């Protein structure tokens, strides 16, 4: 396993406005992925997918927001 930075909270452990802990990394800012760590190809490691029509940013379905392939 490899320890990688959570893309959704960018390692802060906090999810969005307010201080609610990031539910992807559990508030640690880091998470474990299988070695070797590989960025998610769908979101290119950002954990976010932008809807081209509505411009709404949502969690990547490929990695569930972590930014890493699991
Ligand atoms: Zn996180
Ligand atoms: Zn992704």
Query: What are the tens digits of pLDDT across the range 23-35?
Result: 999 999 999 999 9
Confidence class of residue 70 from pLDDT cuts 50, 70 and 90? confident
Q: Do 30 and 58 touch, CB atoms closer than 8 A?
A: no
In angstroms, what is the span from residue 70 Cα to ligand 2's centroid? 10
Query: What are the tens digits of pLDDT across the range 30-52?
Result: 999 999 999 999 999 999 999 99
Residues 6+ apart with CB under 8 A from 41: 62, 69
What global pTM score does this model have?
Answer: 0.88
Residues with CB under 5 A from ligand 1 (ion): 6, 8-9, 22, 24-25
């Amino acid at each position: 396993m490899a320890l990688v930075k959570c893309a959704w909270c960018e390692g802060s452990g906090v999810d969005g406005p307010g201080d609610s802990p990031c539910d992807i990394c559990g508030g640690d800012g880091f998470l474990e992925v299988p070695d070797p760590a590989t960025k998610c190809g769908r979101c290119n490691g950002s954990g976010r997918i932008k809807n081209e029509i509505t411009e709404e940013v949502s969690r990547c379905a490929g990695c569930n927001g972590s930014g890493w392939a699991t």
